[in-house]
Structure 1
Amino acid sequence: EFFHKTLSNAVILYGSSHIGKSRCMEALEKHYRRIFHRAINDIMVCVRSLKKSYGLLRMSCVDIYKEEVEDLFVTDLLNDTDAPQPSLKLGTDTNGSVVWLGARTPIITSKKGLQFLFEKGFTEHMRRGKKVRDRLGATHTIIRL
């Protein structure tokens, strides 16, 4: 039943630099996991509980910087990933779902795979942010499942 419906939920933290947006996503001191890690667990528990449905779980991870949308799954340290790439655009796929056209959207098969992709996107976000002064404070990251 879950996969037969179109669900779209978002947590949006918006504001100027250094006001605590990232801290809001962290766990309380007594908990060792952040909110994002607990959400991953909840999503995978929900998916595993479905017995009569089939579907795919995909993930995209993009940065918005200076009105350009960049795919954070484009990571190749041996080649020049900092070369100008065409900005991604919002569009609809053949099923009518809203997607980032041109973005990589790997299929998720396990909680470990989802965590790996999150860490890959975060690492690329930090790498790009450190190459350009003040980019980290001016970038908005969108992770979509």
Structure 2
Amino acid sequence: MISASARPSLPLASRRRRFSLTKSASLAFSLLALLTLAGLVLILLLQSLPVWRHEGIGYLTGIKWFYRAKLFGALPMIYGTLVVAFIALLLAAPIGISAALFTAEIVPARVRLIWKILVELLAGVPSVVYGLLGILYLRNWIYHLLTPFDPLSG
């Protein structure tokens, strides 16, 4: 009977060559990823130069957006994005932490495997799909929920 430790191994020179090849491939693909990222940043900068020449830094700090007058400011959009992200964080963080604690500490081992598979399936769905489902189904429910508080009703 041959034990696992008695298995014949590759000669040292062959292992070193294999490690060197793996190391070189990892380095090459890492550099390829960095070059791709640098290329994307360069393309974005070059394509946005006309806007920066025309608008300057005022584009980021401006609050007005009038197409016909050619006045553009991104500050309201940046602020809106940060507010929405903060609200999403306030809603999602307690749910995510609670689900993680529930899974790790309370759920029995057999159920934990099924629960883990379900969570991983949900994580695999792009967030755009969840947004679409929210617009299609939650919009009407929220509209009817908030209708009594219509600000135009006086």
* Same fold? TM cut 0.5: no
**TM-score by structure 1 length?**
0.22
Give the TM-score normalised by structure 2: 0.22
Select the structure with the greater relative contact order (CA < 8 A; seq sep ≥ 6). 1
Normalized per residue, the structure richer in strand is 1
In our comparison, the structure showing a higher alpha carbon Rg is: 2
Which one has the bigger helix percentage? 2
